[in-house]
Chain A
Amino acid sequence: MIEIKNVSKSYVKDVKSVDSLNLEIKNGEIFGFLGPNGAGKTTTIRMITGILEPDGGDILVDGYSIRSNPIEAKKRFGFVPDNPDIFLKLKGIEYLNFLAEIYNVPIEKRVERIENLTKKFEIYQNLNSTIESYSHGMRQKIVICGALISNPKNWILDEPMTGLDPKSSFDLKEMMREHTKKGNAVFFSTHILDVAERLCDRVGIINKGKLVFVGTFEEMKAKFKEETSLEELFLEITEND
């Protein structure tokens, strides 16, 4: 469970990139975070994951504050950043071992999880190659495997489908569903509205740093125009704000 309580962030004085954001991602739900470019999605995700310090407010991950108890909070989520071009000089197996070490995953479980995850994403054979030799999609896959190696309760994924082939994208979506069925939470940002509609239990739409809608797609349609397409609804919400 992730609770975002009155969180704000400014990069420039008097311009709030995220303005008094309140949000709750409940256990057992897939929550989609939508918004146009520069709306504050990545800034919000960076604050949830402890990369950025909020100017005000707090974020709790399973009850642990990212501000006052960051290490305990960070142990409770796995994070996939928007750009998978990280640790390019490491081999796939080295990257996963490094993360397993940081998350204190016991050796036996580490071996088992690495094998399961990488076979699922079909990169098992590439583990001994450096990440820089991977394609964009393979890099995305290894980063996802890394995020899941500690078997975290909460998944935070920033544009996770970008670069994935259809099968891997399908597998990831299935994994997200299975994960939430077990009572865990998935928070992910996406630009692909169809994916959000089919996958998410609830969505939040952020625009100019402010949360302009939270709820189910049914609620969104009921609030706005019943017959309008999702794309049109999204544009109406974000442009009229």
Chain B
Amino acid sequence: MNNIKGLIKKDLYNLSSYKMTVLVLVAFIALFGSFSEDSIQFIPIAISAAIGMIMLSTFNYDESSKSEHYILSLPTNKREVIKSKYILIILGNIIGSIIGVIITILAAYIVAFIKKSGIPQIDYGLIFTYALGGFFGVSLIEAIQIPSIYKWGAEKGRIQMFILIFILVMLIMGIVYIAGNITFNIDLAFLENLFGKYGVLLEVLMICLMYFISYKVSNKIYKNKE
């Protein structure tokens, strides 16, 4: 466990140079998110996405500092190296989501104060849903990207990320298009009931499953890499 703690510490030291960037980014997102009551809801998504992406930059640090080989000479192993990355990234996502929720609530109060509209009616459930949605989206991208970084390296992995986002956008647009043109015989009430009752649980389970598969694939790739 000490090894994992040490590896995480090393990444946190590397990320400490991002302190100002994170502050500016959060302030920027909060500012633009506060333009209207509708856009406020997107603050937790944007913040968790931004922090999630910053966490991925630790791979770039490792690559640019040529430390991958050196780390393997330390009393640790490839499995622990991978585990430390996943722990760091998942923790980053959780912290990003929490910051997102807090900033959203603060932004709602600030907007209400500026507009002099009294205490704002905050839909905490909706904010939580958006935060979880952001967490899910970032997790999906990371779960696909981390194994590809282990396979091709951080630089090529970055290009791959843009391709991935492009594919995801196209996929969503395609689904929206198909859904708009084809009449499905779906019991919407059943689906609404299912997601209403178990939506959060399903989403959390999906996130766990995505990271688990991603971790296993990363392990397999990195184990065979010299």
Contacts and interface: CB of A to CB of B under 8 A. Distances in A.
Interface of A: 46, 49-53, 70-72, 74-75, 79, 81, 83, 85-91, 94, 97-99, 101-104
Given A86-B70, A90-B10, A102 B226 contact: no
A101 B66 contact: no
A233 to B, nearest CB: 32
A52 B5 CA distance: 24
A98 B9 contact: yes
- Shortest 9 CB-CB distances between A and B: which pairs? A101-B6, A102-B6, A49-B73, A74-B75, A94-B13, A98-B10, A75-B75, A79-B73, A51-B72
Question: Considering residues A52, A53, A87, A88, which has the most beta carbons from chain B within 10 angstroms of its beta carbon?
Answer: A87
A70 to B, nearest CB: 6
Interface string B75-88: 11100000000000
Contacts of B2: 101-102, 104
Nearest to A71: B75
Contacts of B3: 71, 102
A86 B67 contact: yes
B73 to A, nearest CB: 4
Secondary structure of the A side of the interface? loop
Interface string B57-79: 00001001111011011111100
B6 A70 contact: no
A50 B5 CA distance: 21
A79 B76 CA distance: 14
A69 to B, nearest CB: 11
Contact of A71 (B10, B14, B65, B77): B77
A99 B73 contact: no
B7 interface: yes
B17 interface: yes
Contacts of A75: 75
B72 to A, nearest CB: 5
Contacts of A74: 73-76
8 contacts: A49-B73, A51-B73, A81-B70, A89-B64, A101-B2, A102-B2, A102-B3, A102-B75
Contact of A101 (B5, B14, B226): B5
A48 to B, nearest CB: 9
A88 B10 CA distance: 12
Interface in B1-35: 2-3, 5-7, 9-10, 13-14, 17
B77 A87 contact: no
Given A86-B65, A87-B65, A90-B13, A99 B74 contact: yes
Contact of B72 (A50, A88, A90): A50
B169 to A, nearest CB: 33
A71 B1 CA distance: 12
Contacts of A91: 13
A70 B74 contact: no
Nearest to B67: A86
A81 B71 CA distance: 11
